[in-house]
Amino acid sequence: MTILLGAIASISLLVGGIGIMNIMLVSVTERTREIGVRMAVGATEEDVQRQFLSEAVVLSSLGGIVGILLGVIGSAIISRILGWSTFVSPSSVVIAAIFSAGVGIFFGYYPARKAARLDPIEALRYE
């Protein structure tokens, strides 16, 4: 059962990470002009990359928080309805939050790097 749940969680993290990457790539495309303006007024590649990477981490962390809350609530509901004693360990909640942020970092790196490497002149001409 542990292996099955681990496999399901791994697939969910992969699918969620791909979703985050797609959302961030669309965000980079839609905000190309903004990125060009930021770079034209002095923002460095690091600044732009940090901005998009932090957005990806916030997005994935919010998803992780929602998942943790649903897991705790679901555990309490199962405990009441079926009469099973359930225990949600604080360490598993912390590990889930860390993995959630890690997924944001891992899958948000490519879009953030793509945004940081845009040519400011081309970005300002975009649209």
pLDDT at position 90 is 92
Q: Is the pLDDT of residue 25 over 80?
A: yes
Confidence of residue 6 (pLDDT cuts 50, 70, 90): confident
pLDDT at position 5 is 84
Is the separation of the CB atoms in 33 and 118 below 8 Å? no
Number of domains, the chain:
1
The model's pTM is 0.83
User: Which residues are CB-contacts of 38 (< 8 A; sequence separation ≥ 6)?
Assistant: 47, 48
User: Which residues are CB-contacts of 116 (< 8 A; sequence separation ≥ 6)?
Assistant: 45, 46, 48, 49, 52
Between CA 96 and CA 55 the distance in angstroms is: 19
Locus of tokens 């309490």:
76
Task: Identify whether 111 is part of a domain.
Answer: yes
Task: Identify whether 127 is part of a domain.
Answer: no
Q: How large a percentage of the chain has pLDDT more than 90?
A: 71
Per-residue pLDDT reduced to its tens digit, 69-79: 999 999 999 99
Owning domain of residue 6:
2-122
pLDDT at position 54 is 94
